[in-house]
Amino acid sequence: MQLLVLKNIGVVGLHSQAAIAERLLIDAPAVSRLVDRLEEDGLVARRAGENRRCVRLEITEAGRQEYQALQRAVDWLDTQARESLSPPEFDELSRLLDKLQTGLFQLLGNEPAPAPRKDDLLSCVPPPSNDDG
Provide the pLDDT for residue 81: 94
Q: Using 50, 70 and 90 to split pLDDT, how confident is the model at 80?
A: very high
Provide the pLDDT for residue 132: 47
Strands 44-48 and 55-59: antiparallel
**Region of residue 113 (left: phi > 0; alpha: psi -120 to 50; beta: else):** beta
Residues 44, 57: Cα–Cα separation, whole Å: 7
Q: CA angle 28-34-37, nearest 5°?
A: 140
Contact criterion met (CB below 8 Å) for 126 and 133: no
What mean pLDDT value characterizes the chain? 81
Provide the pLDDT for residue 26: 85
Range in 19-28, 85-94, 107-116 the model is least confident about? 107-116
Please check the confidence at residue 57 and state whether its pLDDT lies above 70.
yes
Query: From the CA atom positions of the chain, what is the Rg in Å?
Result: 18
E strand map for 11-76:
44-48, 55-59
Q: Which CATH architecture has domain 1-111?
A: Orthogonal Bundle (1.10)
Please check the confidence at residue 110 and state whether its pLDDT lies above 90.
no
